[in-house]
Amino acid sequence: GTEETLLPILDDPRYGAVYIAGHSLSSVIGLEALRRFYTEYALKYAEAEGATPEERAAREKHLTRYEKIKAFVTFGSPLEKTR
């Protein structure tokens, strides 16, 4: 899944920027994976009143991960047809 593939790359200090590309159906799958990745983690690590230091650290780690994703490039993409 997304976490098993994407998180090790985003956590690897050798990569300062990550560009994701999808062709044809992979562009639909990639977009859904990115949406899920953002939504799940944004909700899970949302800033909340009374957050513990551990929760704040987890949120910062996720934001650092997400900021590494610089672009999602598609080609031969049916995304227009999936509205």
Pick from 83, 46, 79: which is nearest to 62 by CA? 46
Rounded CA separation 75/12 (Å): 27
Where is pLDDT greater, at 39 or 67?
A: 67
Q: What is the pLDDT of residue 52?
A: 83
In this predicted structure, the answer to whether residue 81 has a pLDDT above a threshold of 70 is no
Angle between helices 2-11 and 25-44 (to 10 degrees): 70
* Helix ranges, the chain (H): 2-11, 25-44, 53-68
- Is this structure's pTM higher than 0.85? no
Q: What is the pLDDT of residue 78?
A: 74
Phi, psi of 77 (to 5 degrees): -100, 130
Q: Which tokens go with 72?
A: 């999602």
Q: What is the pLDDT of residue 8?
A: 92
Residue range 8-54, pLDDT digits in tens? 999 999 999 999 998 988 888 888 888 888 877 767 766 667 778 88
